[in-house]
Structure formats: structure tokens, C-alpha cells
Structure 1
Amino acid sequence: MGLILQYFGDFTEPQLQQFAALDELYTDWNSKINVISRKDIDSLYLNHVLHSLTIAAFVEFKPGMEIIDIGTGGGFPGIPLAIFFPEVQFHLVDSINKKLKVVAGVAEAIGLKNVTTQHTRVEEIKNRKFDFAVSRAVAPLRSLLQWSNPLVRKGHDLEHANGLICLKGGDLAAEISETKARPHVVSIYDIFPEEYFQEKFLLHVTR
């Protein structure tokens, strides 16, 4: 928890309580439904919470915006972002229902009112539009763009235009090349100089 406060300030008391509660909640849920690897659960705030908040360090979502989290798994990046932006709506989607059970349980336990979940494949979502799609290490960039483009409305209300924001690691040159897209690539290590974030990146592709 102290790691989060090292990089962010100005949280309300409810936000501080929500972030602090994540450790015990995820440890408990993970003992029943394994959504986080055993080695990662001990580094929850670094490997999952702070990693998710890279997006908050990159873009300031406006109140009332709607964000879809593609392949949320146990709720990352969606849950930390929903705590960070309490006036923004987050729709967390995954094709594995038991993972969403964890997400819903955590959200309910900490009183998150700005999170909804949907058990589906993201390509099956119709007649909904969002301001941004976010994702963390779910699929190749080509697939993420194919899934997110129909769901993201065009807009330039912020410093960074509407589109896809995803968190990825490793050598991304080939993955980017095959999409013909020109993402804005940001080194997470430049934002959070922690050893864990070396070779990890945020990609933003404008809609």
C-alpha cells in the first residue's frame, strides 16, 4: 500500500481504505478461485495495483466517461482504476465467469459503485460505446484493436484522444508492425522506476 502512496497523493479517506482492503480481499479470494499466481499475490501492490495505475499516470479520465476493461481477469486494470476515478464508469468483461465472481466480490466488499461486469467474449458486445478500452497482457495488439475499435467512440476531449490503452511487456516491434498502427509507446519504468517494470510498456492507439 505504501508503494501506491509513494507515487500518488491526494486520495480521499474512502479511496485509501479501498486500496488498503485489496490485499486481504485478493488473498482470501485467491485461496478459493486462483486468479493471481501464487508468487504474485505477495507482490499485489507492485505487480497488479501499481501496474494498473500506469494508466492513471498517463491519462486523466473525465467524470462521466465510460471505460471498458477487455479481459479483466481478476479485475486488473479495472478495479484499481475504478478506485482512482470514482466518477468514471468501468465495465469489466471476461469470458471466464469465475474470474468475474472475484471481481464482483471485491467491488462489493469495498463499496465500488462505478463497476459493472459482463460474462462474454468482447467481440460479442453490440450496441455499446465507450470512451476508452483498457487491457493488460490479454492478447496480441492486433486482436485488441480488432475487438476495441467497434466499441470505442471517437473523441478528443482529453490530452490523449479516445482509443485503446493497453499494458504489455517484452519486445513489441513485431506485434506492432503487423497491425500497421502507430501506437504511442511509453516505458512504464520511466513512470515508476521499479525493477519489475523494466521491459514493460503502455501503448495508446487512437481510435
Structure 2
Amino acid sequence: MNADIIFKYFPDLTAVQQSQFNALHELYHTWNEQINVISRKDIDELYTRHVLHSLGIAKVMSFEPDTKVLDVGTGGGFPGIPLAIMFPRSSFHLVDSIGKKIKVVKGVAESLNLTNVTAEQTRAEQVSDQYDFVVSRAVTRLKPFYQWVKNKFRTESFNALPNGILYLKGGDLNEELKEAKKKYQLFDLQTYFDEDFFETKKVVFVPVG
């Protein structure tokens, strides 16, 4: 399996980025045999269900150089690793409460020479730094997630969107968004990607400030 589906939707990647995306398949297969961070059926769909899904955020938001991004509940490195490849001049801090998952993230980032990635075993509430954006992939409902991260943002915004949360979610979100009682924008990933997997997948943007 190669990364052709990524190149289809992001045709302007550098040779280094193409090489890094191509390397993800073997890296995750190797790590997954030691530490199971991706389900057996999903590992064969790595580029669609994990890498391209993560890059849905890149279709919504092109991070400016020096943007600081926190990835909460990163698991095996999604969406943080694909976004770090896509935006090498931004910095990404990937956190997860499970140590073995962070071990995988560090191993993958090191193999890819991603100098813009740091990874830490911790909970979102314990992170002391401040960021421009917080990204995540359906870790929990939006209301408690907002409480975890609401104090993690820098006050100055310099990207196309104001500082805030970029949250990858699927399914019917009406009840969850009503419960959160926050301003939001919804971006339907089916607008950007043709595959059936993205039929109900969205990026929820919640400005903070």
C-alpha cells in the first residue's frame, strides 16, 4: 500500500513530504505488531481512515508558520503526525494518557525525522503550555472536551481562523453541539474527499476567546 490517495488530494507536496507519507504504512505495520494502536481491520485502510481523515483538518485550516498545535488523545499519532508532515513549519505537541501509545508516536516521529513534533504521556488538563489550536479525533463529547482545553490558548490569533478547537467527529452531532452551547462552524469532509468513509465525517471548529 502506498500513499497515492494522499497525493490525489494534496498534489503539491515536496519530495520529503511524499517520502514521509509513503513511509507511514511500513512504520505503523511494524509498530502495530508490537503495540496495538490501530485495529486490525483499520491498519489495511491506514491511509484513508487515519492519515487522510487527519488531513481533513488541513483542508479546513492551513496553519501558518510558527503556529503551535496541541493534539489531545493522539492515540498512535492522529491527527498530529499527518498534520506535522503537512505543516513542517508549525509545531505539534501530541499528548495521550497511555504511555505505550506515546512510545509509538515518538518512534514514528523519530523515524520520519519530524523535528516539529513532541510527545508526552499526560492528560490534557495537566498541559501547562498555551497553543493556537487544539486538534483531536473524537476523544469525548465536545462539552467536557472544551472544559479540558479552554485555558490552553494563546490570546493573539494570526491564522485564517481565530484560535480554537478543530475536532474530527462523525455521525449526527446535533445533540452534542446543542449540549456544548458554544459557537461553532461545521465542515463536511465529504466536500473534500470522495470516499464513502467520509460520508458522515466532519471537522467541528469551535473558536475560543
TM-score over 0.5 for the pair:
yes
The residue that corresponds to 2:151 in the other structure is: 150
Q: Which runs of 5+ in 1 are unaligned?
A: none
Of 97-106 and 147-156, the range deviating more from structure 2? 147-156
The residue that corresponds to 1:175 in the other structure is: 176
2:52 to 47, 50, 53: 50
Asked whether 1:205 is paired with 2:206, we answer yes
State the AA in 1 paired with 2:155: K
Of 17-26 and 142-151, the range deviating more from structure 2? 142-151
TM, length-normalised to structure 1: 0.97
1:92 to 94, 103, 106: 94
Taking the aligned partners of 1:31 and 1:172, their CA distance within structure 2 comes to 34
State the AA in 1 paired with 2:162: A
Local SS of the residue matching 1:150: coil
Taking the aligned partners of 1:171 and 1:157, their CA distance within structure 2 comes to 32
Local SS of the residue matching 2:167: strand
Aligned partners of 2:132 and 2:157 also within 8 Å:
no
Of 69-78 and 188-197, the range deviating more from structure 2? 188-197
Taking the aligned partners of 1:187 and 1:121, their CA distance within structure 2 comes to 29
Q: Which runs of 5+ in 2 are unaligned?
A: none
Return the offset for 1:110.
1.0
State the AA in 1 paired with 2:109: A
Taking the aligned partners of 2:186 and 2:196, their CA distance within structure 1 comes to 19
Local SS of the residue matching 1:151: coil
The residue that corresponds to 2:137 in the other structure is: 136
Return the offset for 1:155.
3.5
| Aligned residue pair count | 206
RMSD: 0.9
Return the offset for 1:151.
0.3
State the AA in 1 paired with 2:60: F
Local SS of the residue matching 2:150: helix
Q: Percent identity?
A: 50
Return the offset for 1:153.
1.8
Local SS of the residue matching 1:118: strand
TM, length-normalised to structure 2: 0.96
The residue that corresponds to 2:116 in the other structure is: 114
Return the offset for 1:182.
2.2
Q: Deviations over 1:15-51 (max 9, x none)?
A: 1110000000000100110000000000100000000
The residue that corresponds to 2:191 in the other structure is: 190
Taking the aligned partners of 2:159 and 2:84, their CA distance within structure 1 comes to 18
User: After the TM superposition, which parts of structure 1 deviate over 3 Å for at least 4 consecutive aligned residues?
Assistant: none
The residue that corresponds to 1:7 in the other structure is: 9
Taking the aligned partners of 1:55 and 1:152, their CA distance within structure 2 comes to 18
Q: Deviations over 1:96-116 (max 9, x none)?
A: 000000000000011110000
Taking the aligned partners of 1:178 and 1:142, their CA distance within structure 2 comes to 7
Local SS of the residue matching 2:168: strand
Asked whether 1:103 is paired with 2:105, we answer yes
The residue that corresponds to 2:19 in the other structure is: 17
Return the offset for 1:60.
1.1
